[in-house]
Structure formats: C-alpha cells, structure tokens
C-alpha cells in the first residue's frame, strides 16, 4: 500500500510540472508542457503563438490595470484576474500619442500605412501590455532581456517591427521582453492639483517610470513560468528608453528588479519638479485658451491661479485622451506645416515642445542636485553596465534640412529599393538653401555642429549626444567599475541614405534585434551590404546575449577582447562595431 501511495504521489507531482511547464533544479532543461504556448501568470493563464517554427511568443500580456478613469495620473495597479485561458496572440495598441515618423500605424494596420496617422491622435490610454519571445525549446532559467523603446517620451511603441524579439531570442538563447509605458502628459505630469499629499510615490509625477517598475515586478513574479530566470534580468533602452533605464538605475523603487543594464544613445539625470510644473501649467493654459476661458497666456495664468486645485483636477480629468494628445502636439488646434511632426525636444514646431521626464521628486528619483551625490555614495542600483552610442547620432535630428514633409519622406523611404538604381538624390529630399554645402563631409559637419552657420541647425548634435553619454559613463565609473561601452560606426547604405543617415541615432537597433525587413530604415539594407551587415549583427547579438548572461559581453566572434571602459586618457574606452560590404570590422578604441 505504501509503494502504491508513493507512486501515485510521484505521478501527481510530475503531472503538475508538465501542466504548468515548470520543473525542478536549475539544469537549464525541463519536461515540455502539454501545450508549450500556454503558461501561468499570477493573474491567470495565457496562450501565445509559435512564430516561424522555432520561437514562442506571447503578445499583449497585461501587466497592469488600464490606467484610465480614476487611474489616470495614478501609479499602475494590478490587473484584474481572469478565468480560463487569455489569448495573447496579437500586440496591443500603442500608448496614446501623435502619429509620426517614429510612431505606430493605426492599430491593426500594416506598417505601410504609417503615414496615414501623421499629425493625428493614435493609440490609447489602455496600453500597458508586454510582449515576450523565447526559443521553442524546453530550456529554463534563461537570461531575460527587457527592452524599453525610445521616442522622446512622447512617441514610439513596444511593437515596432524593429523590436521584434524572435531573432534575438533564438540567436542569444534568452527571453526577450518589450514593454510599453505611458507617454507625454499621461506618463509624466506633476502639478499641485494632482497631489493628494498622502502618497509621495503617487505625487511624484513619474507615472511612466512607475509603469516600467510595474512591468519589472510582473517579470520577477512570472517569468520563471516562461522559462526565464527572475534573478538574471537585464534592462535595455534606447534614446528616451535609455533615459528611463538611467531612471531605473537611480530609483530606489527599482532595487532588486534587474541585475544588468544597457542604456543606448542617451545620458542619465533627472529633471526639476519646477520644470515639470511649468510644463503642466503650459498645457492647462493651452486648454483654457482653447475652451474660451482666456484669450492669451497672461489671462490664462490669471484664470488658472484663481481656481482651486479641485477645479483644475476636475477640469483635466474631464479631458479625453484625444484632447490631451491634440493639445500636446498643437495647442492652437492646427496641424504642423511642411516640416511635419518634429519629434525631439526643441524642434521648430507649434507644439508645447518636449516632455519633462524623469522628474527628480526626491522619492521615486533623486532631485537633480542630488544625482551626483547619490552615485558617489553608492545610493543607486549598482549593476554591470553596457553603454552604447552611434558615431553620427545627430544625423537623425536634422529635420529642418528636409525640403519634403514627413509623409513624403516616409513614402520615399518605404518604397525605395536598395538593390535597384536609386534615382533619388539629396536634392529630392533636402531644402534647396542647404543642398549646396551638403557634400557628404559637410553634411556630417552640419549634423555635428552646424558648421558654416547653416540655419536652422540640428536639434541635437553628435557632439552633444556623445559628450553627455561619456559624462554619465564617467560618473557611474566612480562607483561601478564594471562598465563596457561601444560606438556603432556602420555606414554602408546606398545613397542618398548613407549621407542622410549613415550611423545615425537608432541605426544600431536593427543589428541588435537582427531585423532588417520592413521598417523605417530598411531602405538602407541592400544585398550589396548584406554579408558585412549580417556578420556585424551576429557579433552584436552575441555580445548582448553574453552580457545578459554573465555581465561580460566578450565572445569569440568579436575577434578581439572587449575591455572595460577606462577613465584614464589613452586607455581603452569603446569597442567599435563596424563592417564593410563583406565582413565585420571590430576593434577597441582608446582616446
């Protein structure tokens, strides 16, 4: 009888492991679940899909309750539990924003329709759904890579085709997760009218950063059931996503939720609360003028200051998502002119301008004046770092030089055949007043520092970008010695794109994700540059995977040793990722 009972107990234990896809030990392999696309989360079961025969994907998993109604401008809350098996086979809609070159097409539409959304509201407030990819194997305890998209904290989406994690998950044998977060005034908004005074976290205004913290908590609690190791999580962000990675590094509320970090193409730091309040008041004033409460900013200031906080909160809560998106992009109610939707802070548009993000409230993030002290005293999340930039960051921000609007430019880029005779020249794209000095070398100079007094100049120069990134790297190095850095220098695109973009901001992302199909920059990926491009991509993917696995990006395919970043002049600083048309060219750079 005892033997029968023991056999029955063993059968029940093994059966339960199979049903949930779990297992014992840490061997890295396990019994396959009956349905490998069904996994358990703390809120209910989800069923994903098989992609390409070798990848499992779960698309649109809720990690927080929809931040709508009374949850607008509140910290994210747990989603409601669900019964049965929730289908997560399609990415969710993007977070509410203005459609633009770097933002999403209308939900459910093909990427080719992207220009149809330019300068109009797109997305939704109900957008907190993550995407997970993993190899279709029985491996477990895989390292987890969490990617945070860019877009100036105003635009972008986790389902951009450039960020599809299937290739990287398989080549790196890891879990890839892409996470959204609330954008523009939905994600970053600090104002006395919204502060209850009872919860400093809720009063911080950093709702987007809290969304990312919520996503990391979901990953910590659930990723083991997808085969990931919750104690080996790497966060990677690009541009504004990189700024938010720095925010997570600085935030005590993210402690223990990640173990390595890869900030790409943006420095760290926090913003003053006063700057955030000033931006919020500018938005409120724009509404007051639009709704007829005031005629100009001066009378709007007077009217706003005469109202109670309760009135202002009620007034703001009564605005629809579309209202808030429209007022952010065009306070006067009109569309942008031929320059299109200028995405980055400081762009010459009629918009309210950049978003004040990563607000140094003193609770979620240190005050701006306290950042250096926090790092020097070790009061930040000290994890191994891999910091990257491109060698021509500023080229993406020379939009004032374009003589065509964004919709026209997108159409030209999307329909361009990189393997055919171009038929397109710089004069088809650039403003006539700047085309004369725009030789390849002069264009690079223009992108760097507005040489020859060309007006208007770039919003962000390469020198500004790289200098600020190096400054952040140097600060971290004082308290965290394990830092690797790279510069992405690949510029092998067919003309005119190599002159216009080259190794611009964001050009390294297709190489990291191994995605060269339909996307914004696919006009630059030709058969002529394919051999070198794929070799470079493979080396970059293996480095990202090695770093996510161990904190050290070195592997044999590099062909050289990636040395730690050094403060000392003349000592190793960055690994150069480059390639010619046929082969990769990787080396260490000291300066």
pLDDT digits (tens, 9 = 90+) for 177-206: 999 999 999 999 999 999 999 999 999 999
Residue appearing with tokens 């173990």:
259
Lowest mean pLDDT among 336-350, 379-393, 482-496, 551-565: 336-350
pLDDT at position 8 is: 35
Kindly tell me if the per-residue pLDDT of 560 is higher than 90.
Answer: yes
**C-beta of residue 260 within 8 angstroms of C-beta of residue 174:** no
Per the domain annotation, does 187 fall within a domain?
A: no
0.75 exceeded by the pTM? yes
The whole domain housing 583 covers 384-590
pLDDT at position 563 is: 96
Per the domain annotation, does 503 fall within a domain?
A: yes
**C-beta of residue 233 within 8 angstroms of C-beta of residue 256:** no
Lowest mean pLDDT among 353-357, 394-398, 566-570: 394-398
At 422, is the pLDDT very low, low, confident or very high (cuts 50, 70, 90)?
A: confident
Kindly tell me if the per-residue pLDDT of 588 is higher than 70.
Answer: yes
pLDDT at position 217 is: 98
The widest CA-to-CA distance across the chain, in whole angstroms, is: 93
> Between 273-290 and 297-305, two packed helices, what is the crossing angle to 10 degrees?
110
Instruction: Tell me which range, 249-253, 326-330, 399-403, is most confidently predicted by mean pLDDT.
Output: 249-253
Lowest mean pLDDT among 205-209, 272-276, 430-434: 430-434
As a whole number of angstroms, the distance between CA 214 and CA 466 comes to 31
At 590, is the pLDDT very low, low, confident or very high (cuts 50, 70, 90)?
A: confident
pLDDT at position 255 is: 98
Lowest mean pLDDT among 7-21, 69-83, 213-227, 236-250: 7-21
Per the domain annotation, does 394 fall within a domain?
A: yes
> Between 273-290 and 309-317, two packed helices, what is the crossing angle to 10 degrees?
70
Lowest mean pLDDT among 6-10, 106-110, 215-219: 6-10
pLDDT at position 34 is: 63
Q: Which residues pair with 392 in a beta bridge?
A: 504
Per the domain annotation, does 5 fall within a domain?
A: no
At 39, is the pLDDT very low, low, confident or very high (cuts 50, 70, 90)?
A: very high
Measuring CA to CA, which residue among 126, 56, 52 is closest to residue 88? Answer: 56
At 84, is the pLDDT very low, low, confident or very high (cuts 50, 70, 90)?
A: very high
At 434, is the pLDDT very low, low, confident or very high (cuts 50, 70, 90)?
A: low
pLDDT at position 330 is: 66
**C-beta of residue 247 within 8 angstroms of C-beta of residue 204:** no
Would you call 589 helix, strand, or coil by DSSP? strand
Kindly tell me if the per-residue pLDDT of 55 is higher than 70.
Answer: yes
What is the residue-averaged pLDDT of the chain?
87
As a whole number of angstroms, the distance between CA 132 and CA 137 comes to 15
pLDDT at position 41 is: 98
pLDDT at position 432 is: 67
At 466, is the pLDDT very low, low, confident or very high (cuts 50, 70, 90)?
A: confident
At 465, is the pLDDT very low, low, confident or very high (cuts 50, 70, 90)?
A: confident
Give Cα separations from 384 to 92, 263, 456, 472, 587 (angstroms).
32, 11, 40, 14, 21
Per the domain annotation, does 514 fall within a domain?
A: yes
Kindly tell me if the per-residue pLDDT of 69 is higher than 60.
Answer: yes
As a whole number of angstroms, the distance between CA 82 and CA 84 comes to 7
Q: For the chain, what is the domain count?
A: 1
Give Cα separations from 242 to 152, 175, 371, 392 (angstroms).
10, 20, 16, 17
Work out whether the CA dihedral 115, 120, 126, 128 comes out positive or negative. positive
Per the domain annotation, does 29 fall within a domain?
A: no
> CA 93, 104, 263 angle in degrees (round to 5)?
95
Q: Greater confidence, 466 or 15? A: 466
As a whole number of angstroms, the distance between CA 234 and CA 448 comes to 32
Average pLDDT of span 114-120: 90
Kindly tell me if the per-residue pLDDT of 150 is higher than 70.
Answer: yes
Would you call 573 helix, strand, or coil by DSSP? strand
Give Cα separations from 582 to 128, 454, 517, 525 (angstroms).
42, 36, 19, 13
Per the domain annotation, does 64 fall within a domain?
A: no
Per the domain annotation, does 226 fall within a domain?
A: no
pLDDT at position 177 is: 98
Lowest mean pLDDT among 146-150, 293-297, 400-404, 478-482: 400-404
For 39, the token pair is 């996994």
Kindly tell me if the per-residue pLDDT of 461 is higher than 80.
Answer: no
End-to-end CA distance of the chain: 76
| φ, ψ dihedrals at 186, nearest 5° | -75, -30
């Amino acid at each position: 009888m005892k033997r029968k009972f023991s056999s029955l107990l063993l059968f029940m234990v093994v059966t339960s492991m199979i049903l949930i896809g779990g297992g014992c030990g840490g061997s890295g392999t396990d019994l396959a679940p009956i349905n490998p696309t069904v996994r358990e989360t703390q809120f209910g079961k989800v069923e994903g899909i098989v992609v390409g025969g070798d990848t499992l994907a779960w698309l649109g998993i809720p990690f927080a309750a929809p931040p709508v109604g009374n949850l607008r401008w509140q910290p994210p809350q747990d989603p409601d539990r669900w019964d049965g098996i929730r289908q997560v086979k399609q990415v969710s809609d993007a977070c509410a924003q203005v459609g633009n070159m770097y933002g999403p097409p209308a939900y459910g539409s093909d990427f080719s329709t992207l220009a149809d959304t330019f300068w109009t509201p797109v997305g939704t407030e109900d957008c907190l759904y993550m995407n997970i990819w993993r190899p279709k194997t029985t491996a477990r305890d895989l390292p987890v890579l969490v990617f945070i998209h860019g877009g100036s904290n105003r635009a972008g989406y986790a389902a951009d085709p450039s960020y599809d994690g299937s290739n990287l998950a398989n080549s790196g044998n890891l879990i890839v997760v892409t996470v959204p977060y609330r954008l523009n005034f939905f994600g970053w908004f600090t104002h006395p009218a919204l502060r209850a005074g009872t919860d400093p976290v809720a009063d911080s205004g950093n709702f987007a950063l809290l969304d990312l913290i919520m996503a990391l908590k979901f990953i910590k609690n659930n990723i083991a059931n997808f085969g990931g190791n919750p104690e080996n999580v790497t966060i990677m962000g690009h541009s504004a996503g990189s700024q938010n990675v720095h925010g997570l590094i600085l935030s005590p509320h993210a402690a223990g939720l990640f173990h390595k970090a890869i900030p790409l193409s943006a420095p760290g730091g926090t913003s003053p609360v006063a700057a955030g309040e000033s931006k919020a008041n500018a938005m409120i004033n724009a509404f007051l003028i639009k709704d007829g409460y005031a005629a100009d900013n001066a009378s709007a200031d007077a009217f706003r200051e005469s109202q109670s906080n309760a009135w202002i909160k009620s007034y703001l809560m009564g605005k629809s998502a579309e209202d808030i998106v429209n007022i952010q992009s065009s306070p006067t109610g009109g569309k942008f002119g031929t320059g299109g939707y200028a995405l980055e802070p400081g762009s010459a548009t009629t918009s309210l301008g950049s978003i004040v993000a990563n607000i140094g409230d003193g609770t979620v993030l240190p005050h701006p004046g306290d950042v250096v002290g926090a790092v020097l005293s070790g009061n930040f999340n000290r994890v191994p770092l891999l910091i990257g930039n491109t060698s021509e960051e500023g080229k993406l921000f020379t939009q004032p030089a374009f003589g065509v609007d964004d919709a026209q430019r997108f159409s030209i880029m999307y329909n361009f055949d990189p393997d055919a005779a171009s038929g397109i020249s710089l004069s088809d794209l650039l403003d006539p007043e700047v085309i004369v000095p725009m030789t390849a070398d002069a264009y690079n100079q223009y992108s760097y520092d507005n040489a020859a007094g060309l007006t208007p100049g770039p919003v962000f120069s390469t020198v500004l970008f790289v200098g600020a990134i190096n400054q952040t790297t140097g600060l971290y190095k004082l308290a965290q010695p394990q830092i690797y850095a790279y510069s992405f220098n690949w510029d092998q695109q067919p003309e005119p794109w190599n002159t216009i973009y080259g190794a611009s901001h964001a050009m390294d992302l297709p190489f990291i994700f191994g995605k060269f199909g339909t996307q914004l920059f696919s006009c630059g990926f030709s058969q002529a540059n394919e051999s070198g491009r794929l070799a470079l991509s493979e080396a970059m993917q293996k480095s990202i995977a090695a770093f996510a696995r161990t904190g050290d990006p070195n592997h044999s395919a590099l062909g050289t040793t990636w040395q730690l970043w050094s403060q000392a002049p003349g000592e190793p600083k960055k690994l150069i990722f480059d390639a010619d048309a046929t082969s990769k060219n990787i080396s260490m750079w000291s300066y």
